[in-house]
Structures are given as structure tokens and as C-alpha cells.
Amino acid sequence: MSAEETTDERASILLVDDMEDNLIALEAVLGSLNEPLVRARSGEEAMKALLRQRFAVVLLDIRMPGMDGFETAANIKRLDQTKDVPIIFLTGTDADAGYAFRGYATGAADYLTKPFDPWVLRAKVTVFLDLHRKNQQLERILTQEHTHAAQVSTRLAALEKQLSADDQPDIPDLRRQVRELQRLVTALRDNRAP
């Protein structure tokens, strides 16, 4: 496994809360997942972090001074670079009943009230980590398929050029090129590298 693949398998989690105790609690619950946990103490810090690196999921407190969780979520969903990052809203039990609706309306994937059940939070975050990894795997497969398709296209164009030339074609060379193309097409069909 290359260093790039190892890095891609790590799925960072962004923890956004203005209260130190809450961040410590989140780290205690999620630390066993062995994924990078990145802290942000405000919506502004969260946006900066999201623009610096990719995250598998954001755990976002709703009540924060300055840019609150709803405004932060709206900004996250507005940017092409961050719009697909799932958000789990976290808020106190004394929260307004409309918070859950408003959270989902701003693009939240989930919503939990504090104090939260650590097992439930860990399970929900694990689902988003798995989805993140599967999306990365799909991206790699699509890139690989695009590369193979481009190779096939280039080789077909070269074969066509040879066949349309006025010179007598080199039959053994043409057969070799056709076998290489067959191998590439088979690899592309079987979704594996040649």
C-alpha cells in the first residue's frame, strides 16, 4: 500500500464547539476510532479547517457565539469544495423544538442532543467514515477507468493511422497491438489494472 493510499484511508473528523469540555468529551468518545480529530472553536475556524483539508464528517454544535451552527452549516453546504461533507448537529436538551427541523433544512445528515449516548454517536460517525472510504475507493476506480479508456482510445487512433497509411501494414505488429488492446479492454471490463 502506497503512502498516498494510507493517507487516503485516514478519515478526519471535524469537531466544532465553543466549549472546551464538549470538545474533550467528543475526543474521549471518538478517540477509539483512531482517526484524526480536528478541533474548531467557532464557525469561522471550522470553515478555515474545511478549506484546508477534507473531512469525512463534521460534528457541529448549534449554539456558538458569532457564526452559529446553522450559519456554519449553510456556509459549508454553499461551497462546492465542502457541500458533500455530512454534518451531525449537536445541541443541548433544552434546545428549541424547531432546531431539529432547521438543522435538517440547512443540510444536516443527523441531529443529536447532549448529553448524547457515546455508543450511538460512535456508531453514527462510523457510518459516515465508512461512506467516506467507499467514496474515495469509487473515485480511485473511476480515475483508473478513465486512464484505461484514454489508453484504449490512443492506441485505437494509432492503429487506425497505421491501417490507413499507404505503406503495407506490419501484420505481426498489428496483431501485437490488437492483443494489447484486448488486454486493456478486458482489464477495463473487469475493473482492474492491466
Q: How far apart are the first and last CA of the chain?
A: 18
Q: Considering only CA atoms, which of 20, 3, 14 is closest in space to residue 43?
A: 14
Give the number of other CB atoms < 10 A from CB of residue 108.
Answer: 21
Helix (H) / strand (E) element for 111: namely strand 110-114
| CA atoms of 79 and 50, how far apart (whole Å) | 10
**Residue in the block written with cell 460534528:** 59
Cα-flanking dihedrals φ and ψ of residue 23, to 5°? -65, -40
Please tell me the distance from the alpha carbon of residue 186 to that of residue 178, in angstroms, as a whole number. Answer: 12
Average model confidence (pLDDT) for the chain?
A: 85
Query: Model-level pTM?
Result: 0.74
Q: How far, in Å, CA of 27 to CA of 87, rounded?
A: 17
Q: What's the pLDDT tens digit per position in 60-82? A: 999 899 999 999 999 999 999 99
pLDDT along the chain (194 residues), means of 10: 46 94 95 95 96 95 92 95 94 74 87 89 95 90 83 79 75 79 76 56
